[in-house]
Structures are given as C-alpha cells and as structure tokens.
Amino acid sequence: MTSLLRIAAAAVLAVSVASASAIAQVAVPAGSVAAVDFTEGQAVARSPSGQERPLAKGDGIARGDSVITGAGRVQLRFLDEGYLSIYANTEFLIEDYFYAGQADGTESAAFRLVHGGIRALTGAIGKANRDNYSVTTNIGTIGIRGTGYTASMGDGMSASVSEGAIALTNRAGELLVRPGQTGFMSSADAPPVLVSQRPYLPPTPPATRRAQDDTNPPGVTRFRPADQRTPDGGLPIIPHEGDDGHGGPGGHTFEGETREGWNVSYGVQTNDVRDSSLVYLDDGVVNSWQWDAGGGMGRGYKDVADQGGDSVIAWSRWTEGRMEYLSGDDGWHEYPESYDTIHAHLVAGAPATEVPVSGSADYAMMGGTGPTLSVGSADAVGTLNSATLRVDFASQRVGLEMSTSQGATDWGVQTLGGLAGTAHHGMRLTSQGDSGLTPNHYFYGNSGGGDGSLVISRNGADCGDCYGAVRGFLAGEGASHAGLTYVLGNTNAAIYGSEGAVVGAVGFQRR
C-alpha cells in the first residue's frame, strides 16, 4: 500500500473513532471492565464459576468472564475505549484486565481466543506500552504494535492488520504483520508466515437474521441487526466484514447504503466502464454492484484492499475470489476461468451533473489502488506514483499523465502530447455511457495510434509494442470528480497470456 493510501486508511479510522463520541454509548457498569455495546442472536457470558447469563445491550463483562456466541454476535466497549467485535461461534476469555483511567504503566489486558473470530480496535492499553496487551491462543500469541486487527482461531490461527502492526509469536519464532498483511500460524511449532487469505469471521446464520428482520422490520427509525449498526442507528465503531461479506465465505452481500445510477469503471484482465449502476457501499467501501444493461459483477470476493474516496467517488481492490455476472435469465454465472484472477479493481462515482461546456479544469489524484498483475501472486502489489487529468470542456477531450510501478517495471501512460495536447489529442468525452440510459460523461483511450490514443513507456523508454487501455468517467455536480481504471501490458497478446496485465484504479478531484 502506498504512503498516500496509508494516510487515507488512517484518516478513515480516525473518523470512525471520532464518530464514536457523537453516538450515544452505554456506560460500563461498576465492577465491570467492559459493556455490551451491541448484541445480536445467541450470546452468553460465562463466569469463572461456570454460571452463564444471556447478554443484552448495557450488560457488564467482568475480569475472568468468557463471552460465548452461537448464532450471534457481540460488540464490547472497554474502559480504555477499546472496542471488540466477537463473531458467531466464538469463545473469548478475558483472563486479566486493569485500567485506572489513564495509561500510567499499571494498565494491562490479557485475552484468550479459544476459537472463532474477533475484530478489535485497541484503546489506551497497549499504546503506551505494547507489552501490556496480548491475545493468546493454543498455538501462539498476538502482541500489539498498533491499533486495528482481525483474528480467527480454527484450523490454525490467522490475523490481519488494518492499522498499526501486530506480532505473531509462538515456540517457532515471531512475525511482524503490517497493514494490509495477514499472518498465519498452523501450529505452536510451525513458524508464523505471511499469507494472502484473510481471517475467516463466522457469519451469523441467516435463519437468525430472518427471524429478527421479520419481527422488527427496518424503517425510518430502525435498522437491520445484520447491518451491525449501533442500537441508536449509527455507523458501527468497528467496520464489520459482513455476513457473507468481505470476510465471509459467500462473497459480497448486496447490502449496505445504495447509490442508484452511479458510474463504475472496473479492471480485471481487461477493463470497461458502466453507467446507471446500482452500487452498494459498506462504510464507504464498494461492497458490490450491479449494472443496468443486462449484466453485472461483484459477487464472490472475500477481501477488500486499498479502499478510499469520499461521498462522490470511491475506489477499492477486491482480492482472493471470483467474479460472477447476472445474465438475462436472472441467474448468476461465473466468468470464464481466464477472468478468475486474484485482483479486481474498481472505482465508482455519482453521475456527473451540470458539466461545463467551456473552459478547462485540472484534476488531482485523490488516491487509488495498488497496481497488480492479472496473473501471479496476491503479494505482488505495486505503487501508484502519480496521476493528473485535464478536461477541456470546450473540445470535449480529456488528457492524462500517469506513472505507476509494478515489480521491476515502471510504467508511464499519457495521451498524445500529454496535458499540453489535451484539446487536440485527448480522449473524447461521450455524451452517454454504454447502456445508453443516462447522459453521463465517459472517456476511453487505447494504445496503437490514432487520435486520442495513449502513449505507453516502460522503464523510461517509449514502448510502441506495449498495450494500454483506459476507461473513465466524470462524476459529481459540476464534474467535481473523475475516476478511471487502466490495463497495461508488454504486448497485446501478453494480456491474455501467462505474463498477464498490470491493472489499477484511480480517483480524482477537481482542483
């Protein structure tokens, strides 16, 4: 992940924490170390003596208690303002916990994950003294070097990091896991290793969700428990990975906040752009999407990386899964094996309105996805170095200058003449998207000569045989934003061969 994306991720986390103060919180009862902030379905607390009690919002959790979920899920808020989501079919023990109201060296938190999955945002404990916070399993220990992590315990123990870092330790060694990475320990005597598959967080069984939804339908002042909103209807403190969602086994959910008529540009092995799409946002991340011209994609991806954006535009990289499309028979069908790639990139944005008809504007890169190969290792994530757009509204053309790195290769992409030649040689804006349903504003560029074509460079030298394609759109009121995906290859044939293509997505904002 680039430094820009790390900053963006940190900003998102900071907003989430800041939002917590605006949401009514339950108080931690006297004599307890945590309070139940949210609960759904079957969940109990077991005392050290073995007595069990069902959990509800506001209940206290004491030192020595175990929280056990069956067909349910619980979110806890600790005295040090740390948060913990405990997923279905999980047993989690609070072995020790002490916090006197400030980080003075006496604070400590020792937990045990017996089985199942958790997601945590740490509080004051562990920030001042990282050795004071630990999560133990029968295979090894998670030590904190940061603030946000996810962990699961089943056939081995795996943990991934959203912010900061963690250290996985067992008898065979120690592994530092950084943002965007996942560590795995198969046994107490096997060294921890980095893997591409994120932890599996057990979803709440559908029968439980249906029963609650049928008896408590969502309305203006209600919310679906499966959305994991707070009891006051606000956004969750810990962004969840969803039932059958980002972290579940069944792929994306087609749930969340909907955006109708949005533009979507996507890149996998090739790339394309769609208008009039129905986009689903989960905490600002594109969860899934469908387009309105007889097809669709967006199911099956188990993980989301490099996400970012604002209220007008959002980008993300989907990893570790397959794509499916919606055909005319209203059934989902898997794309051919050649599309069954490790990464898929996309950027989605609100329809462009009140687009100027004269003058020009420059667009600065907000962020984007780390470029990846359409074949190869999930760990082969490159760097998006820079990207600038210029739109000449009078000539209805778009200029591009972009630089990206993948492995040992530095790629350059620009329209003929770069930004200086936009009015004469830029990519043409079209008045309609490919569905013909809405008057959105799109641009297309390809290598290979001709007006509006792309010039591709490789390691600083022009590459006449290289292949490049850009698919993009303008977005927002007054064309305030733009988004695009790109596909690059040493040759056209290499795109579909074992060499593969370099693929990525970029989001822009008008200066």
User: For 252-300, how does the pLDDT look when each residue is reduced to its tens digit (9 = 90+)?
Assistant: 455 567 787 888 998 887 888 887 777 877 767 776 777 654 445 555 4
Question: Other C-beta atoms within 10 Å of 67: how many?
Answer: 24
The reported pTM is: 0.53
Which pLDDT value is given to residue 236?
42
Average confidence (pLDDT) over 487-496: 77
Q: Which two tokens stand for residue 76?
A: 């806890």
* Rg of the chain in Å (alpha carbons): 24
- Kind and range of the H or E run holding 251: none
Q: Which of 326, 234, 246 is nearest to 287 (CA)?
A: 246
Identify whether the C-beta of residue 134 lies closer than 8 Å to the C-beta of residue 142. Answer: yes
pLDDT above 70 as % of the chain: 69
CA distance 351 to 406: 31
Q: Which of 182, 197, 487, 239 is nearest to 344 (CA)?
A: 487
Q: For 22-31, 82-91, 180-189, 438-447, which range has the lowest pLDDT when averaged over its residues?
A: 22-31
SS3 35: strand
